[in-house]
Amino acid sequence: MSDSTETLTVDLRDIHKQFYGVKANEGVNFQLRPGEVHALLGENGAGKSTLCSILAGLYRPDAGEMIIEGEPVVFKSPKDALAAGIGMVYQHFRLVPNLTVAENLALGHHNLGVMVDQKDLQRDATQLGERYGLPVDPTARIWQLSVGEQQRVEILKLLYRDAKVLILDEPTAVLTPQESQSLFSTMRQLTDEGRSVIFVSHKLHEVKQVSDRVSVMRQGQMVGEIDTADAEPKDLARMMVGRDLELPTRAEDDSTGQPMLVVRDLRVPGDRGLESVKGVSFEVRSGEVVGVAGVSGNGQRELAYGLVGLRRPTSGSVTLDGVDVTEENVLEHIRQGLAYIPQNRLGMGLSPGLTTEDNLGLKAFREAPYSKGRQLVPAAFKSRGKDLIEQYDIRGVVPGLPIRLLSGGNLQKALLAREVEMQPKILIARSPTRGLDVGATEAVRNSILRERSRGTGVLLMSEDLDELLALSDRLIVLYEGEIVGELTARMATAERLGLLMAGQRDEVAP
């Protein structure tokens, strides 16, 4: 199938890149052949995105050679990379929200004349979409499109410039399993035409399904490259992590306690004033983990805001351990025993400019030992903070320096330490392991499970299906602000969840 003498499409040699002293790429070699899907596998922070951004001309390497179709190149900007036929679909899409689909396709395209003819553009966009099975309305503005549709526009944008190499950075992270399958068939069509695809992922089963070859990165270095056919998922996992994985295990325990969080017909407005949570009812009992699945943007954020008091619901009720807190402010929710791990851990969860010790005292500071009457006790922050840092294994803390200097995993440990120390009755966590490496992920998942065995009711909102399946006793699925299905852990599979996440109500009774 692959001829070793043919010219490589992309040949990266000994690439180095540092960010503020952090080595993101350290002597990385990477080779892409024409017409292949080449998976780039690695944990978050392994340097995959950095390598891709270098190839796409966004970052300049500190050292190393880039050879495209046998010719050494230097990319000064994405413009140069596009001219060489290399384009990237970034994890955070690079589309101008206020422009139409057609305008986004035309943007920066140098083969077009000085004038822009909207009709021509729209016709081209429609034709291209039909050809590659990527239907999208060319007159729609980007902000009106779903995440999946936006991704199609990103791919069309590259095809409109006839890119020979398409880099897809974690493209399936925002898709339902069904949408992912359709993306995979588009990828096949592209490689059949002789284009090459770099498929970045950390999901082993997808890599196994769609790629021809796979390169694995760990901590900024390339640790191996093999043909997918020869790769066992277990081996890939070991290459990725550097050791065998011990997945957290949930003690099977069906005895349910008192309802700690009771939500009845809750309606919460979204940012634009429209209703984002449309009459949701569920409960979380003491000692159980309830997972909330859903493609992002289906009301998860607004639901969390409504539950923790950040946004006043328009109707319905929220009851914490028997106390109605629907109309109360955030402080009252905290007093009733609610702990919250927001998605945005630095900013909403922690105050970036304060020290780690101060951040650890940020919720309990109104009480002893942090306060005496109306006065703060600075010494208490220091000593209590020191204890917590040790107890929760928060690494990298330099006393007196702001917490924002810690790594993502340690930030999350600090946040969890603060919230868990309150001995909450209810813990609401949103994507608590997003962007964390495997070690930190393990630590976070284990503390969530410890809370569960302590009798806390946990509401876990996540886009990571594997995480939801591993931790939850029950799962509810949000679609367009409504609960479209509820499954017990035993009934739940990724496929069923995927169908529900796409809005297909469950026909099988749970």
Residues 54-73 that bind another protein (CB under 8 A): 56, 58-59
Q: Which region, judged by CB under 8 A, interacts with another protein, from 2-10, 80-88, 288-296, 384-392?
A: 80-88
Nearest to another protein of 157, 496 (CB atom): 157
User: Quick check: 136 binds another protein (CB under 8 A)?
Assistant: no
Of 172, 169, 197, nearest in space to 182 by CA: 172
Residue 441, both tokens: 């992920």
Complex with another protein: residue 80 or 332, whichever CB lies closer: 80
Q: Are the C-beta atoms of 175 and 148 separated by less than 8 Å?
A: yes
Binding mask 155-194 for another protein (x = CB under 8 A): --x-------------------------------------
**What number of other Cβ atoms are within 10 A of residue 252's Cβ?**
8
- What DSSP string describes 234-295? HHHHHHHHSS------PPP------EEEEEEEEEEE-TTSSEEEEEEEEEEETT-EEEEE--
Nearer to another protein, 94 or 386 (CB): 94
Query: Closest approach of Cβ 59 to another protein, in Å?
Result: 6
Exactly one of 5, 98, 255, 375 binds another protein (CB under 8 A); that residue is 98
The gap between the terminal CA atoms of the chain, to the nearest Å, is 47
Among 106, 145, 338, 440, binds another protein (CB under 8 A): 106
Q: Give the separation between CA 60 and CA 74, rounded to whole angstroms.
A: 9
96 in contact with another protein (CB under 8 A):
yes
The answer to the question of residue 406 lying near another protein (CB under 8 A) is: no
Give me the least distance between CB of 467 and another protein, in Å please: 24
User: Cβ neighbours of residue 280 under 8 Å, at least 6 residues apart?
Assistant: 263, 265, 266, 267, 299, 303, 316, 478, 481, 482, 483
| Minimum gap (Å) between residue 62 Cβ and another protein | 12
Strands 86-89 and 259-269: unpaired
At residue 55's C-alpha, the angle toward residues 156 and 295, to 5°, is 50
Kindly state the smallest distance separating residue 115's Cβ from another protein, in Å: 6
Q: Which of 14, 63, 72, 108 binds another protein (CB under 8 A)?
A: 108
Interacting positions 268-327 with another protein (CB under 8 A): 272-273
Query: Which burial class, exposed, middle or buried, applies to 453 when counting CB atoms under 10 A from its CB (0-12, 13-18, 19+)?
Result: exposed
Among 30, 75, 90, 392, which residue sits at the site for another protein (rule: CB under 8 A)?
90
Q: In this complex, which beta carbon is closest to another protein, that of residue 311 or of residue 418?
A: 311
Retrieve residue 38's tokens: 């080449």
CA distance 66 to 12: 5
Stretch that binds another protein, among 39-47, 78-86, 180-188, 465-473 (CB under 8 A): 78-86
- Smallest distance, another protein to C-beta of residue 81, A: 8
Q: Is 83 in the site for another protein (CB under 8 A)?
A: yes
Segment contacting another protein by CB under 8 A, of 91-99, 288-296, 354-362, 476-484: 91-99
**Residue 352 touches another protein, criterion: CB under 8 A:** no
Residues 4-33 touching another protein, rule: CB under 8 A, are 19
Smallest separation (angstroms) from another protein to the CB of 76? 9
CA 109 to chain centre: 30
* Residue 270 burial by Cβ neighbours in a 10 Å radius (0-12, 13-18, 19+): middle
**Size of residue set near another protein by CB under 8 A:** 33
Nearest distance from C-beta of residue 111 to another protein, angstroms: 10
- C-alpha to C-alpha distance for 7 and 5, rounded to whole angstroms: 7
Whole-number Å distance between alpha carbons of 173 and 196:
21
Of 387, 445, 397, 453, nearest to 421 by C-alpha is 387
Question: Residues interacting with another protein, by CB under 8 A?
Answer: 19, 56, 58-59, 77-79, 82-83, 88, 90, 93-99, 103-104, 106-110, 112-116, 157, 272-273
